[in-house]
Structure 1
Amino acid sequence: MASRDRKTTPFPCFLLILPFFVFADRHSHDEMLRENVVIFTDPSSTNSTNCLMTSSNNGVKLVIFDKDGTLLDFNKMWLPWAANTVRLLEAATKLPVGPAVYKTLGVDPVKAKVSMGCLAEKTLTGVREDVALTLQTFGVNPIEAAAIVEGCVPEASTGATAPVCDLIFLFQTLKAMGIKLAVCTADSRTATMEQMRMLGVARLLDDIVCGNDVGVIPKPSPHCAMHICKRLGVDLKATIMVGDTIADLKMGRVAGLRASVAVMTGVGTRETLKEYTDYFLEDVSELPNLISNVMNEDTKRG
């Protein structure tokens, strides 16, 4: 298990440029690049008050994180969204579609828990398509169902943005180990960027890929992982994927990344994820210890 001891000394430092991107919009990417330049202190400083202790990265040069359920508490964020969506759909259709919609989403409103399902594993487009199909089972015609879903299934969550651990400390620690950081999420870019800025970690990320970016092929396709590695100039075998769903972990496997790492803070369980992961962590705070003290050259596949 990774150490949970957290020193509060600042991050040792360098010039970090964050290449946020939309796949087919180079101009937008360049604008965001200029807006996200952050200058830190001199990395050569030996002053202990200016540096975190660094650890071996064992050849890991890039970590790609899923967002909801991995970095953020999935239930706190999406249960309110699901309840609001069901309320809107029942009002619009005047039909008791709630239980069926909850099942489609993978939400148990009684246990207040999100499990594997379209809400956890698909983009907004995929969620809306599945909900529209559910409405059709109640006799709603396809055109009407699509229109209702468009108006009743919100893009953004109305729930709390609750990090699973001290993300600033985690990201600073990984940066001090010489590791680049990326987020690959099915959520929208607007919501994702707002959350990352609110949590104070946007400046520490080298790339963010979102579900509504132009040209994105959703997980478990290897497309996003391979594209991130190419953009950041990091070999696939020097990259690990961290997530809480089968789709997250399969993306890492199919892309040929060095490892897929499952966390227990989201919708997946040890039973559902064991076939797709190389390691289990209780939460992402254990990742530095995994990389430094558990992973070694023998864990490289291929």
Structure 2
Amino acid sequence: MLFRPSNLRTAKTLLSCSRIPSSSFLRSYSKTASLQSTYKLVIFDKDGTLTSFDSMWGPWSEYNASKLESFTGKSLSDDIYEYFNYDKHQKRYGKSCVAHDTHEVVKNGILDLMVKKHGFPRVEAKSVFEECWEDIFDVDADGIANKVQPLGNVKHIFESLKNHSIKTAVCSSDQRDSVELAMKILDIEDLVDRTVCGNDPDNTPKPSPENVHMICREMGVDPKETVMVGDTYYDTKMGKTSDCGLVIGIMSGQSDEHDLRDAHHVITNLDEVLPLIIDQKPDGK
């Protein structure tokens, strides 16, 4: 898909006018102690952490469900929404596989639904699926930039980390085209040192610690000097199992506080992360 510069300008205008939510810590405590001096790397999830999950993936779900239904003549939409845990009327997701699984895993789930619940032969289902299914940036090329809604002052956060010589990475289950375009719209593509995406050949799905360990090796940073920031159980579990020095869960996506129980801190929005990272000891004190 060709990215239209006009969409980027429009999106950046929207970002500059967006209201940033007030700061309010939900939970803050230390579960582990480290004697390192300062953090050297912060790894962020994307959807639900840096950008709104619902504004991006709601239209995508509705478009693909409608297209599959129209093509096959069968009532598939409600079952697809149930599989995604998506409320079409509220335009909101609950805890959803779309938030943490790779595209291939999600696609295979829909194929299984078509075969097992609607009686499609698998070969036919796969053929129909390949004909109809569209990835996020194929759905609405002209308006997609406006669907990338930041969940805080994203560029300021990345600039502040860069100014403190703290490296940054984005680790997402989303596809690379989607991740790179979101970073371009957020105007942080030159501030991110490394991205790991769901369709990368060296990606290992969350909550495996492998992606964190790979990023740390490439950045020359010990995991104990690393911060993991995310909005799902899979993000915070990945941070814990990889032995990150600080794990921050954000109540801005699909999870509640219990889901984020592996985090050292649970906060309500992205703008609360800087005080926890900059000029802090890695035990969060």
The TM-score, its normalising length taken from structure 1, stands at 0.76
Q: Deviations over 1:183-221 (max 9, x none)?
A: 001111112112212221000011011111112111111
Q: Which residue among 89, 93, 99 is the counterpart of 2:68?
A: 89
Task: Quote the residue 1:132 is aligned against.
Answer: 111
Q: Which amino acid aligns with 1:251?
A: M
CA deviation after TM superposition for structure 1 residue 109, in Å: 1.1
Describe the superposition over 1:247-299 as per-residue Cα deviations: whole angstroms up to 9, x where unpaired: 111111111111221111111122332x2222111111111112247x53445
CA contact (8 A) 1:211 1:218 kept: yes
In the alignment, structure 2 segments of 5+ residues that lack a partner are 1-20, 24-35
**Cα distance in structure 2, aligned partners of 1:268 and 1:84:** 25
Name the SS of the counterpart of 2:259 in structure 1: helix
Q: For residues 150 and 232 of structure 1, what CA distance do their matches in structure 2 show?
A: 38
Counterpart of 2:124 in structure 1 is: 144
Structure 1: 5+ residue stretches without partners = 5-56
Decide whether the 8 Å contact of 1:226 with 1:236 is kept in 2: yes
Q: CA offset at residue 67 of structure 1? A: 0.4
Amino acid in structure 1 at the alignment position of 2:170 = V
C-alpha separation in 1, matches of 2:259 and 2:131: 33
Give the match for residue 114 of structure 1.
93
Q: Distance in 1 between matches of 2:282 and 2:175?
A: 36
Q: 1:240 to 1:297 in 2, by over 3 A?
A: closer
> Judging changes above 3 Å, is the alpha-carbon distance between structure 1 residues 254 and 142 closer, same or farther for their aligned structure 2 residues?
same
Q: Deviations over 1:20-44 (max 9, x none)?
A: xxxxxxxxxxxxxxxxxxxxxxxxx
2:41 to 53, 59, 62: 62
2:255 corresponds in structure 1 to: 268
Distance change >3 Å, CA 248–CA 147, structure 1 → 2:
farther
Name the residue aligned to 1:290: 276
Question: What's the counterpart of residue 223 of structure 1?
Answer: 210
Q: Could you tell me whether the CA contact under 8 Å between 1:242 and 1:248 is conserved in 2?
A: yes
The one-letter code sitting in structure 1 at the alignment partner of 2:263 is T
1:41-60 Cα offsets, whole Å, 9 max, x none, are xxxxxxxxxxxxxxxx9521
**Count of equivalent residues:** 245
CA contact (8 A) 2:57 2:136 kept: no
Give the whole-Å Cα distance in 2 for the aligned partners of 1:206 and 1:222. Answer: 19
Residue 80 of structure 2 corresponds to: 101
1: distance between equivalents of 2:278 and 2:155? 19
Cα distance change, pair 297–259 in 1 and its aligned pair in 2 (3 A): closer
Change in 2 beyond 3 A, CA 1:297/1:204: closer
Q: TM-score, normalised by structure 2?
A: 0.80
Deviations 1:93-114, CA, capped at 9 Å, x for gaps: 2111111101111211122111
Letter aligned with residue 252 of structure 1? G
Distance 1:189 1:135 in 2: 27
Structure 1 counterpart of 2:199? 212
> Secondary structure at the residue paired with 1:262?
strand
Pairwise CA RMSD: 2.1
Query: Identity rate of aligned residues, in percent?
Result: 33
* Secondary structure of 1:125's aligned partner: helix
Q: Is the 8 A contact 1:156 1:188 kept in 2?
A: no
Say which SS state the counterpart of residue 258 (structure 2) adopts.
helix
Does structure 1 residue 184 correspond to structure 2 residue 184?
A: no
